Amino acid sequence: MESGSGTDELRKWSGRGELEGYTGGCRDKAREGANGPFAHRLPGDTGLRCVRVPDSPGFPVLAHPPCPAHHRALRERLARSARQPLPRAAAKQEKGDNSVKKSRLASLSLASTLALVAATPPAGAQTPSKISDGVVKIGMILDMSGVYADIVGPGAVIAAKMAIGDFGGKVLGAPIELVVADHQNKADITAAKAREWFDTQQVDMLADVAATAPALAAAQIAKQKNKIALFPSPASSRLTNEDCTPVTAHWTYDTYALAAGTARGVVKNGGDTWFFLTADYAFGTNMQKDATAVVQELGAKVVGAVRHPLSTTDFSSYLLQAQSSGAKVIALANGGADFVNSVKAANEFGITPKQSLAALLVFINDIHSLGLGVTKDLLLTEAFYWDMNEQTRKWSRRFFEQHKRMPNMAQAGIYSAITHYLKAVQAAGTDETAPVMAKMRELPINDFMTKNGKLREDGRVLRDVYLFQVKKPEESKYPWDYYHLRATIPAAEAFIPASKSVCPLLRK
């Protein structure tokens, strides 16, 4: 048997009144037909006890995780009981029947007492009976120091803490904890950290994993461990298409939605020939694939593409290829510092305004870094803008007080995702994965950035997204006043239709 952190196993005592304690696996034991009935365990495999009494149908007992005081009482009770000989069946048949009945009654009495001691908290203590380990622990595996640190990084942590604080710091009487790790944009580091957190640190849910390749790795670990993983910041539509799982949710935007918004706007404005400058990893290739499909559907033509390494600092050779293609539109299928550096280089080389840029993944941080003089008139798609209405402004100003920067859509999405998860835990009455995911799909998503959003079976959050155009410097009236709203793209048009998805969860 495995020992939970900070707890001891109930010692095994064999005899006619056998009593055993298990830290999980009770259901499995019951399915295997192990001696006698077992109680169903509470959610999680973290110290919850299942007491069984052989030959006593109808008397399975479920106990809470014992505290040290419980263990002392249990050990003392077991020690006293072990010193007392068990009744033995008499040699004579008539006495044997009575002795067996008395033995069973003694077993029932002992089991009842032990279960009561284990299940009853000491005076003044409160142990949430429906929360594994008595704590709801949320993890985030982010880029805290690399190319996407400005997009997620410390700002993402602030957004998560705001969500937890606004919820009161507790759910179902259990405290909410947050743990954060830096994955250095490496999928193997992400997978190892997710596995460690789920296996040994009692993390209940991942609230974000920045960047596509790390997110895809974390999604598979979450599926293996039957833990919830939410993805507000990564972009690839693979998370809800070919790599969908029943325990993950893609929260804010995806490559399909970004392409659907920006590509339509650019083609409508006359951009009928395209050349892609693409980050050479999972996000970039998926972004190019989704954008190409939209461009070709609209009757435009892709004349070429080139890929650049992640976090490159020299875009000259790639931009010269784009320039020589003669395409009207150079589509930037990259993000973060790569996007910022490629736009700077295009401006320095005089590529713009002769050729226009299509920004396929842009955050307000990027516009702030580049300035309106460089980015004016750029079309882009986002799921959130801080200055859209009074609700967005109120929340964003609170965020600004802590971060000294306005929030982007990924950071706002993290707040939204964590808040909806906690609402689902509260409504489900447990942090067990299946009931919580069911509630997350059942409850509408309503907050400062989302109105009547819905979590689809494939894990896609269906929400409206927006086509913005960057203002000219003279049009900006105050700090961070950067966007004109040009179109609202309804959720039904923004994301992959269920009929076109390859996710098997939509075929059930």
Question: pLDDT digits over 172-225, tens only?
Answer: 999 999 999 999 999 999 999 999 999 999 999 999 999 999 999 999 999 999
In whole angstroms, give the CA distance from residue 439 to residue 452: 15
Comparing C-alpha atoms, which of 87, 71, 75, 64 is closest to residue 17?
A: 87
C-alpha dist (Å) from residue 345 to 167, 348, 352, 371, 471: 44, 5, 10, 14, 21
Whether pLDDT at 44 is above 70: no
Summarize the confidence of residues 231-258 as an average pLDDT.
97
pLDDT for residue 38: 35
| All domains of the chain in start order, with CATH | 26-119 (no CATH), 132-253+387-463 (3.40.50.2300), 256-382 (3.40.50.2300)
Residue linked to tokens 């006293």? 80
DSSP character for 238? G
> Helix, strand or coil for residue 7?
coil
Whether pLDDT at 339 is above 60: yes
Per-residue pLDDT reduced to its tens digit, 136-157: 999 999 999 999 999 999 999 9
How many CB atoms are located within 10 Å of the residue 30 CB? 18
Whether pLDDT at 65 is above 50: no
> Helix, strand or coil for residue 461?
strand
- CB burial of 253-274 (b: ≥16 within 10 Å; e: otherwise) equals bbbbbbbbbbbbbbbeeebebb
pLDDT for residue 400: 98
Residue linked to tokens 């996407």? 148
Whether pLDDT at 454 is above 50: yes
Q: CB of 146 within 8 A of CB of 185?
A: yes
Question: For the range 496-500, what are the long-range contacts, defined as Cβ-Cβ under 8 Å and sequence gap of 24 or more?
Answer: 496/237, 496/240, 496/241, 496/254, 496/256, 496/460, 498/456, 498/458
DSSP character for 445? B
Whether pLDDT at 427 is above 80: yes
Region of poorest pLDDT, from 71-85, 395-409, 453-467, 492-506? 71-85
Q: Within 269-408, where are the H helices? A: 282-297, 316-324, 337-348, 364-370, 372-375, 390-403
Q: CB of 74 within 8 A of CB of 20?
A: no
Summarize the confidence of residues 260-287 as an average pLDDT.
94
Summarize the confidence of residues 35-59 as an average pLDDT.
36
Per-residue pLDDT reduced to its tens digit, 342-393: 999 999 989 888 899 999 999 999 999 999 999 999 999 999 999 999 999 9
Whether pLDDT at 29 is above 70: no
In whole angstroms, give the CA distance from residue 150 to residue 142: 11
In whole angstroms, give the CA distance from residue 427 to residue 409: 27
Quote the mean pLDDT of the chain: 82
Which helix (H) or strand (E) covers residue 58, if one does?
none
Summarize the confidence of residues 71-96 as an average pLDDT.
46
Comparing C-alpha atoms, which of 67, 6, 4 is closest to residue 41?
A: 4
pLDDT for residue 497: 95
* Residue 80's pLDDT band (cuts 50, 70, 90): low
Residue % of the chain over a pLDDT of 90: 72
Residue % of the chain over a pLDDT of 70: 74
Tokens of 324: 């020589």
Summarize the confidence of residues 275-288 as an average pLDDT.
95
DSSP character for 67? -
β-partners of residue 206 are 139, 229
Residue linked to tokens 């460089």? 374
pLDDT for residue 208: 98
Report the DSSP pairing between strands 483-489 and 465-470.
Answer: antiparallel
pTM: predicted TM-score of the whole model, two decimal places: 0.75
Region of poorest pLDDT, from 114-118, 180-184, 242-246, 482-486? 114-118
pLDDT for residue 354: 85
Tokens of 229: 């993983």
Whether pLDDT at 239 is above 70: yes
pLDDT for residue 352: 81
